[in-house]
Amino acid sequence: MTRGVAVARAVWGGGIVVASRSLPIPRKVALALGFRHLTQAAAVLRRPDGVVARWGWTIDVAHSVSMLGLAAVSRRWRTAALANAVVAAAWARTGKRRQS
């Protein structure tokens, strides 16, 4: 993952944290997701050649798959989960492409 992608991830995570009160998901969930993005971005910025930079995209794949599972079992959270699955898949693709 390049520095630019890590900065974009930090902005995304910060946006989630700031908007956590107005998102259509529980605030604690939004905060956890936002802080996860901020932590991942910080790890990549600190060690651009480290394990998180090389394999962080797998975290996004796991998140995307978990959101597809939530969408399959929960009508209430289906829309938010599907949107989140798409975003997580996009982060995974970006991270994987930067790794190659």
pLDDT for 97 equals: 80
Q: Could you give the residue ranges of the DSSP H alpha helices within the chain? A: 3-18, 27-46, 51-55, 57-73, 78-99
Q: How many domains, the chain?
A: 1
Q: 30: domain range?
A: 3-99
pTM flag (> 0.85): yes
Contact 55, 17 (CB under 8 A): no
Average pLDDT on 61-73 reads 97
pLDDT value at 1 more than 60:
no
pLDDT for 8 equals: 95
Average pLDDT on 33-44 reads 96
- At 71, is the pLDDT very low, low, confident or very high (cuts 50, 70, 90)? very high
Contact 95, 40 (CB under 8 A): no
- Percent of the chain exceeding pLDDT 90 equals 83
